[in-house]
A and B are shown apart, each in its own frame.
Chain A
Amino acid sequence: MQKPVLLIGILALTVFGLSIVRTYISNQVATSGVMLGQIQEQIDAYKMQNVLLSVNLYTKSSLTNIAEEASKEGFVEQTTGFVLSGQVPVAYKQ
């Protein structure tokens, strides 16, 4: 019986090649955890900043705050008002 030398050779080369690739990739990603940790920290910092800015925005745009600021500026509640209940023409045809 003839030995499948070629096939065995290809398989051996494949195993060897994949081992090299695996070693290379493992080597490459081994320190990625540090980088990912930094990225995660950055994301958390942005998220935190977002929350802090949102809180600031909500506080500034609350009606309670706006009314308080308006009062400080001297604005007062409008007590008189009028309503145009009928249709008044802006021009008359002569």
Chain B
Amino acid sequence: MTWRYRFVFLGLVFLFLLVVAKLFYWQVVKAQELSLLGQEQYGTTTTIMPQRGEIRTSDGFPIAANKVSYLVFANPKEIKNKDEVSTILASTLQIDIASVSADLALDKFWVPIKSGVDTKIKQNLEKMNLPGVGFDNQYQRFYPEASMAAQLLGFVGKDSAGNNKGYFGLEGFYDRLLSGKQGLAVEVNDAFGRPILAEMNQSTGVTDGANLIISINRSIQFLVEQKIKDGVEQYGATSGMVGIMDPKTGAILAMAVYPNFDPRDYQDYSDDLYKNPFISDLYEPGSTFKPLVMSAAMNAKLVTPDTKCNICTGPVSVSGYQLETWDNKYFPNTNMVDVIQHSDNTGMVFVAQKLGVDGMINYLGKFGIGDNTGIDLQGEVSASLKPKNEWYAVDLATTGFGQGISVTPIELLDATAAIANDGVRMQPQVVAAVEDADGNTTKITPKVLDTPISPGTAKVMAQIMVNAVNKGEASWARLKGYSVAGKTGTASIPVSGHYDPNQTIASFVGFAPSDNPKFAMLVILNRPTASIYGADTAAPIFFDIAKSLFSYYRIPPEGN
């Protein structure tokens, strides 16, 4: 009897546990789903779209915000005089009358006529009191500064499901954070369709997007946009760009590209303008690369500022290639300070050969060349350095003066900023803080990426670059009384396996004040026609902007 008793008892316990498990499944695991299902039967469920987060500049101004626009819809069954209504809608909304007529001819209760209609037009239509025509509110991205920092911001378009989605720049990189989380709202109604008190507007799961506070200084950005536009037009370039960063933190203060586009009407512009060339375009940096190679060799104690170049008497022949200086002038026994001042290609071949392939790969890697910088913008690219066994003697030689190697402008700016920051390379960062929907702010701390050179080497290199500014080919444009470290660049553009002598990328990279840098800046002009040289085109733009920055930061000239 005992075993029978136990068998029945255990069987009952097992059945009881099964019931408990099933109840747990329905009441805990599927609780929310079933609850919504039930609510849908006695109320209406609507998807609540979260409001997209704003993007604010360092002064708190929303450079990307949201505005209300309207979807105009119609109920064709309520419209009696369809021809007249079609004509009015077409002329007010500026759309094709045939399309409106076709919509109104449909046997439906609801047809969308046009979305993104602004308030004034909506008010005009409301005054006409058209029967069967209604409006739905929509939130639309709004950029108060129009095309300012367009490539940096990106834009908001639609995904395949018709939902808002950020593309390019910050809108693309931080899309998930800015978008927030969709929620569901259930409104329980009585028999007459009126909302019931206790069950009003139960919304679940909706979270508005976070706001981004970026390091972009609106005043500097505005200034830089004007200067690069004027520069491109003045020097007949096809395009131009400027990037300014704080070398001590990696914070991007301004990033301007011209030509640009208006993110409000991005669809009216060519797709080519959407990407940010400062992070997405590779180019051969030319002479602006020389300070990196020189500081690497000095840091490795392979050369000093007084080291004499013993191959600088004329063109240098490497593996059958003849390497010349940009102006065909040669300075026998020139020292390293003068090599940078004269932008001497043969001198840099000397330095590169001293550094060797191992040293070159090692130091370029530490400067971040060949890797993404990790800037928080969508679309950054980089060209990896070749593996050691693919470096030929001529590759090493030309890399010394910045040809035969491809970088993005942000890579070069970040590497040069390391020289300004006592040899410490920071990660470029656009977003300084994130503010969530509850108003809690999380600051993003600056990140050190590497220390390619020592503080001592950085100081010496900065002085060599100051000398290059004061005595080099761009000295005519310099600002007297200010200690600016910089280097011009005139890079040939490779076309079908050879370099086009008439088309260049002119640039100028530098930082100031050299002893305690407040900013590092890179100016690039693509194919300038007024002059092909960086000293004649990019340098004056650099110093023009620097002059305004000194004034903005209240940095007085040294001495009288």
B residues 71-96 in Cβ contact with A at 8 Å: none
Q: Find chain B residues with CB under 8 A from A63 CB.
A: 145, 148, 218-219, 222
Asked if residues A85 and B195 are in contact (CB atoms below 8 Å), the reply is no
Contact of A85 among B119, B148, B559 (CB under 8 A): B559
Asked if residues B201 and A85 are in contact (CB atoms below 8 Å), the reply is no
In the complex, per-residue mask of A28-64: 1 if CB is within 8 Å of any chain B CB, else 0: 0100111011001000000010011011001101111
- In the bound complex, what is the Cα–Cα distance between A40 and B559 (angstroms)? 66
A85 touching B560 in the complex, CB below 8 Å, given contacts A33-B194, A36-B200, A63-B222: yes
Q: Find chain A residues with CB under 8 A from B146 CB.
A: 62, 64
Asked if residues A33 and B556 are in contact (CB atoms below 8 Å), the reply is no
Asked if residues B197 and A55 are in contact (CB atoms below 8 Å), the reply is no
Q: Find chain B residues with CB under 8 A from A59 CB.
A: 144
Contact of A81 among B145, B551, B560 (CB under 8 A): B551
Nearest A residue to B195, CB-CB: A33
Q: Find chain A residues with CB under 8 A from B201 CB.
A: 40
- In the bound complex, what is the Cα–Cα distance between A76 and B504 (angstroms)? 33
Asked if residues B200 and A33 are in contact (CB atoms below 8 Å), the reply is yes
> Is B142 an interface residue when CB atoms closer than 8 A count as contact?
yes
> Is B116 an interface residue when CB atoms closer than 8 A count as contact?
no
A62 touching B196 in the complex, CB below 8 Å, given contacts A51-B66, A51-B68, A52-B119: no
Asked if residues B144 and A58 are in contact (CB atoms below 8 Å), the reply is yes
Asked if residues A61 and B200 are in contact (CB atoms below 8 Å), the reply is no
- In the bound complex, what is the Cα–Cα distance between A32 and B198 (angstroms)? 10
Q: Find chain A residues with CB under 8 A from B119 CB.
A: 52
> Is B65 an interface residue when CB atoms closer than 8 A count as contact?
yes
> Is A67 an interface residue when CB atoms closer than 8 A count as contact?
yes
Asked if residues B65 and A29 are in contact (CB atoms below 8 Å), the reply is no
Asked if residues B65 and A58 are in contact (CB atoms below 8 Å), the reply is yes
Nearest A residue to B190, CB-CB: A33
- In the bound complex, what is the Cα–Cα distance between A29 and B198 (angstroms)? 9
Asked if residues B144 and A62 are in contact (CB atoms below 8 Å), the reply is yes
> Is A8 an interface residue when CB atoms closer than 8 A count as contact?
no
Asked if residues B144 and A85 are in contact (CB atoms below 8 Å), the reply is no
Q: Say how far B8's CB is from chain A's closest CB, in angstroms.
A: 40
Q: Say how far B195's CB is from chain A's closest CB, in angstroms.
A: 4
> Is A86 an interface residue when CB atoms closer than 8 A count as contact?
yes
Q: Say how far A75's CB is from chain B's closest CB, in angstroms.
A: 14
Q: Say how far B494's CB is from chain A's closest CB, in angstroms.
A: 38
Nearest A residue to B550, CB-CB: A83
Residue from A33, A34, A54 with most neighbouring chain B CB atoms (10 Å) = A33
- In the bound complex, what is the Cα–Cα distance between A48 and B66 (angstroms)? 11
Asked if residues A62 and B145 are in contact (CB atoms below 8 Å), the reply is yes
Q: Find chain A residues with CB under 8 A from B145 CB.
A: 62-64
> Is B61 an interface residue when CB atoms closer than 8 A count as contact?
yes
Q: Find chain A residues with CB under 8 A from B560 CB.
A: 85-86
Asked if residues B67 and A85 are in contact (CB atoms below 8 Å), the reply is no
Q: Say how far A58's CB is from chain B's closest CB, in angstroms.
A: 4
- In the bound complex, what is the Cα–Cα distance between A73 and B450 (angstroms)? 51
Nearest A residue to B67, CB-CB: A55
Asked if residues B196 and A61 are in contact (CB atoms below 8 Å), the reply is no
Asked if residues A37 and B142 are in contact (CB atoms below 8 Å), the reply is no
Q: Find chain B residues with CB under 8 A from A33 CB.
A: 190, 194-197, 200
Q: Say how far B505's CB is from chain A's closest CB, in angstroms.
A: 28
Nearest B residue to A37, CB-CB: B195
Contact of B197 among A29, A65, A81, A83 (CB under 8 A): A29
- In the bound complex, what is the Cα–Cα distance between A51 and B52 (angstroms)? 13
B residues 187-214 in Cβ contact with A at 8 Å: 190, 194-197, 200-201
- In the bound complex, what is the Cα–Cα distance between A62 and B264 (angstroms)? 15
Asked if residues A48 and B137 are in contact (CB atoms below 8 Å), the reply is yes
- In the bound complex, what is the Cα–Cα distance between A86 and B559 (angstroms)? 7
Q: Find chain B residues with CB under 8 A from A52 CB.
A: 67-68, 119
B residues 528-560 in Cβ contact with A at 8 Å: 551, 556-560
- In the bound complex, what is the Cα–Cα distance between A86 and B218 (angstroms)? 31
Asked if residues B62 and A58 are in contact (CB atoms below 8 Å), the reply is yes
Q: Say how far B53's CB is from chain A's closest CB, in angstroms.
A: 14
Nearest A residue to B554, CB-CB: A83
Asked if residues A85 and B137 are in contact (CB atoms below 8 Å), the reply is no
Q: Say how far A77's CB is from chain B's closest CB, in angstroms.
A: 9
B residues 132-146 in Cβ contact with A at 8 Å: 137, 142, 144-146
- In the bound complex, what is the Cα–Cα distance between A32 and B197 (angstroms)? 6
5 contacts between A and B (CB under 8 A): A40-B200, A52-B68, A58-B65, A58-B142, A63-B219
20 additional A-B residue pairs with CB within 8 Å, beyond A33-B195, A40-B201, A67-B222: A33-B190, A34-B194, A36-B197, A48-B137, A52-B67, A54-B65, A55-B68, A58-B62, A58-B144, A62-B144, A63-B145, A63-B219, A64-B145, A64-B146, A64-B148, A65-B144, A83-B557, A84-B556, A85-B556, A85-B558
A-contacting residues of B (Cβ < 8 Å)? 61-62, 65-68, 119, 137, 142, 144-146, 148, 190, 194-197, 200-201, 218-219, 222, 481, 551, 556-560
Nearest 6 CB-CB pairings of A with B: A58-B144, A62-B144, A55-B67, A33-B195, A63-B222, A33-B194
